[in-house]
Amino acid sequence: MFIGHYGIGFAGKKVDNKPSLGTLFFAAQFLDLIWPVFILTGIEKVKIEPGLMAASPLDFIYYPFSHSLLLAILWGILFGIVYFLIRKNIKVSILLGSLVVSHWVLDLIVHRPDLPILPWGNLKVGFGLWNSVPLSVIVEVFIFAIGVYFYISVTKAKNKIGNFALWGLIIFLVVIYAANVFSSPPPSVQAIGIAGLSQWLIVAWAYWIGKNRYGINEKLREEK
């Protein structure tokens, strides 16, 4: 899953207005932000297998440290703890930790049974939605659209940048998603890793958006 994760990040703003959109994206995509590092260093392994699944040519051979359920939970706890130590906000810390774990849950829907429960052993799960391109697109776009709706419903632009940057990112994510689904398989594992690392730029883009938008509830409190 790709834009579905960002949809969950957008939706996080509906739960609590305090964290920046960049922080919400950081949490929602945390597992996929560390995964490229693991595959580029050889710690985890992926293989390109055209035709493996209708919506994805990637054979996730070994990725227990970034994508096992146990490690996803531990990463979520660690993420929440670090945020709490910095911001001293337990509610947001729990939200962010939950967003980290939500990544594994969404991947469970689309992956074939290749997601490990534990970083050791052979028990792997996945519902396989990627076997159908139409269903994959419908589900992922729906999650993304709902998330964007929630975000827009609780924020307003401070200036023109707040609107242009937001809609520019939305369009960019949709285009990248369409390219991933309907284009040829990536040329190499190294290209996958480099493309994965580029998602840090999306997180930075989201922080930029956050600086140019404000939460509606926050504004109302100021006016009172």
45: pLDDT confidence band, cut at 50, 70 and 90?
A: very high
- AA letter at 7: G
Pairwise CA distance, residues 204 & 47, whole Å: 29
Section 12-19 average pLDDT: 95
Concatenating the DSSP letter of every residue in 154-213 gives HEEESSHHHHHHHHHHHHHHHHHHHHHHHSPPPS-HHHHHHHHHTHHHHHHHHHHHHHTE
Residue 1 clears pLDDT 90, i.e. is over it:
no
Question: What local confidence, expressed as pLDDT, does residue 222 receive?
Answer: 45
User: Regarding predicted confidence, which is higher, 121 or 30?
Assistant: 30
CA angle (224, 146, 2) in 5-degree steps: 125
| Six-digit token string for 77 | 């706890």
Pairwise CA distance, residues 103 & 106, whole Å: 5
Pairwise CA distance, residues 4 & 61, whole Å: 23
Q: Assess if residue 223 is contained within a domain.
A: no
Q: Assess if residue 191 is contained within a domain.
A: yes
pLDDT digit string, tens, across residues 26-38: 999 999 999 999 9
- AA letter at 138: I
- Structurally, the chain folds into a number of domains equal to 1
Question: What local confidence, expressed as pLDDT, does residue 182 receive?
Answer: 87
Q: Assess if residue 107 is contained within a domain.
A: yes
Place of tokens 């520019």: 168
Q: Assess if residue 138 is contained within a domain.
A: yes
Q: Assess if residue 221 is contained within a domain.
A: no
In which domain, by residue range, is 126 found? 3-216
pLDDT digit string, tens, across residues 78-111: 999 999 999 999 999 999 999 999 999 999 999 9
Helices (H), the chain: 3-15, 21-28, 30-40, 64-67, 69-87, 90-110, 133-154, 160-182, 189-197, 199-211, 216-223
Question: What local confidence, expressed as pLDDT, does residue 34 receive?
Answer: 97
Residue 215 clears pLDDT 70, i.e. is over it:
yes
Least confident segment among 127-136, 189-198, 214-223: 214-223
Three-class DSSP category at 129: helix
Q: Is the pTM of this model over 0.85?
A: yes
Q: Assess if residue 222 is contained within a domain.
A: no
218: pLDDT confidence band, cut at 50, 70 and 90?
A: low
Q: By percentage, how much of the chain surpasses pLDDT 90?
A: 91
**How deeply is 184 buried, as exposed, middle or buried, from its count of CB atoms within 10 A (0-12, 13-18, 19+)?**
exposed
Residue 219 clears pLDDT 80, i.e. is over it:
no
